[in-house]
Structure 1
Amino acid sequence: MGPTHPVLAQSESKGRFFERLGLDKDNASARDTYAKMKQEAIDARVRLTAALANAGVEPPYDHSQISEATLQSEIQNIYQCAAPETRALYVLGHDRDQTPPGNWVIRWMLWHAFRYRDGRNRNRKVNKASNGDKGDKGDTEASAHGPSVGLICRFQHQLET
C-alpha cells in the first residue's frame, strides 16, 4: 500500500511540508512534533556522516554522497525507532509498495537535515562565530544520546525479527 499522503518534493518548503501533513504551523504541539522529527533526522545525519568519514570521504558532507541502499537503511531505522508522536506522521509517508519500504516524510526530513548544513542555504543569516557552520540556529551536530542510538535500535529490531 502506497503512502496515504501524496509525495512532496524534497526541495519544497517547510510550510508546504506542514500543509501536506495537515499540520498547523501556528500550533505549538505541531511545532514540537516537527522539532522531534528534525532531531531524529539530525541524529541520522550524524550516523550517516560518521559512515562517510569512516569510508574516507572528506567533509563537507552532502546528501548526494550517500548511497541509496544506505539511505534506505537509515530511513527504515528512523521509522522503526521513532517516537510515537513522530511515527504517527511518518506513517503518512510510508510506502509498503517499495522494497524496502520507502518513506517520503523521513526522506524529506533527512534531505533538509543535510541541506541546512552543506552551505547551499545562502538566504539564512547565521553568525558563524557563535553558531559554527551548523545551519539552523540551535541545532547541534550530535544529539545528547549520540549516534549509538540508531545502532541500538537497529540491533533491537533485528532481535525482534
Structure 2
Amino acid sequence: MSTPAVISIRDQGALELIRVLLQQGVTVRLRVSGISMLPLISEGDLVEVSPVEEKKLRRGDIVFFCDQQENPFIHRLHRCQSDLDNVLLVQTKGDACAWYDPAIPINRVLGRVQRIMGERGATDLRAPIIRWRARLLVARTTSFFLLRRTVKMYGLF
C-alpha cells in the first residue's frame, strides 16, 4: 500500500484536487491548522481522510467538509436531519468550539478522518473504543446543549 501524499489546502487548487481524489477513492493526508478539535487534534497534526459513502456516516465521526463559502473544516458529526425539501443535512461541531456549525447538505462532506498522526503518536479512529468514546462525547454535548436551552427558556438560575 502506498503512503498518501501530504497536501496543504492553502496551495492554489488544492481543495479541488482533494475533492477529486476523494471522489476517485483515494485517501489523502492533510496537515491541520487551527485548534477547533483540541485536545484530540492539534495544530500541525496530520489527518488521514478517506472517502466515505453518505449512508455510512455516523454520529461521532470526524469529517472533512466544506461550508457554503467553500471553507474546509475538520469537525465532529453531531446529527443528521432532513429539511423541508427532504434534503439530508448534517450538523457538525469542533470539539473545542462552544457552538454547532450551521447545518450543511450531506453532499458537502468530502470524507471521514480515519487516523490522526501527531506528536503523541498515531490514533486510529476506527478502533471500537475510540468510536464508542466519540458517540459518548456527542451524547454528552447534546445533553449539555439541551439542558442549557431549558435553563435559559425557564429562567432557572
TM-score (norm 1): 0.29
As a proportion of its length, which structure holds more helix?
A: 1
As a proportion of its length, which structure holds more strand?
A: 2
TM-score (norm 2): 0.30
- Please say which structure displays the higher CA radius of gyration: 2
Q: Which has the higher contact order (CA 8 A, sep 6+)?
A: 1
